[in-house]
Amino acid sequence: MKKISLLFFLFAVTFSLNSLAQKTFTSADVFTEKNMIWYGFDFTHMRFIGQASIHGNFYKTPDYVVKNYFKDWNMIPLKESEKYDIKKSFEKEYIYYDVDTLIARNQRFDSDSLISFSNFYSLNTTLFPSIIKSYGGNAKEGIGVVYIVESFNSIEEVAAFYCVVFDVATKKILLQEKITGRPKGGSVKTYWAGAFHEAFEKNHKVYSKWKKGAMIK
């Protein structure tokens, strides 16, 4: 009886651990899953490139950009989801927005680092695994996607992002690609928000390329 009880106990423990285990995903699952988790724009490694005269007082108030624009830009895909169509970009039925973590992180960005004094800046992509592992959020499993912002370049009039798709449970990067967008708009805020729209449209082509590479119809 003791042997049977011990076996039952071990079975119960194993079953409980398995039931609590979080589901993990592979790069192939990116194309079959119907849902995706949008983490937002990570501005904590980006730079503005261009002379102060291009946008006047904008470059003199980097604190305002960090405290206001970073949050406003992250809210745009939620408030204008039909225009900034993430579902279409990734061919999904539903997008869960889990942006609070990045909004909070972006607020802690050192505004003194916002402006680049060089006309060239690039992200070190080898840092991406550690960046992704640092993300929290409400979601505990699923397929996540984030745009890690590289730069807003006023000289070349282009914004550069890295689209990074990852497994939420393990934080393992599944796919990534650099995407650019041309800004357009009346104010500084809407001007760079215009780049998001073009980037999302390009993202669908990137997704199709990934899908073709995975030989999924």
pLDDT digits (tens, 9 = 90+) for 41-55: 999 999 988 755 555
Model confidence pLDDT, tens digit, residues 78-123: 999 999 999 999 999 999 999 999 999 999 998 888 888 778 899 9
Q: Is residue 19 part of a domain?
A: no
Q: Is residue 102 part of a domain?
A: yes
- Band (pLDDT 50/70/90 cuts) for residue 19 is very low
Q: Is residue 5 part of a domain?
A: no
Q: Give mean pLDDT, residues 181-198.
A: 87
For 21, left (φ over 0), alpha (ψ -120 to 50), or beta?
A: beta
**% the chain with pLDDT above 90:** 61
Residue pair 163/141 in contact (Cβ under 8 Å)? The answer is no
Helices and strands of the chain, counted as H and E runs: 8, 7
- Band (pLDDT 50/70/90 cuts) for residue 27 is very high
Q: What would the two tokens of residue 35 be? A: 């849902």
DSSP 62: H
For 6, left (φ over 0), alpha (ψ -120 to 50), or beta?
A: alpha
Q: Is residue 55 part of a domain?
A: yes
> For residue 58, what are the domain limits?
35-213
Residue pair 71/106 in contact (Cβ under 8 Å)? The answer is yes
Q: Is residue 64 part of a domain?
A: yes
Q: What is the count of structural domains for the chain? A: 1
Q: Is residue 180 part of a domain?
A: yes
Provide CB contacts within 8 A for 54, sequence distance 6+: 154, 155
Question: Does 168 score more than 90 pLDDT?
Answer: yes
Q: Residue 34 burial by CB count (10 A; 0-12/13-18/19+): exposed, middle or buried?
A: exposed
Q: What angle do CA 32, 36, 42 make, to 5 degrees?
A: 135
Q: Is residue 2 part of a domain?
A: no
Q: Is residue 136 part of a domain?
A: yes
Residue pair 151/121 in contact (Cβ under 8 Å)? The answer is yes
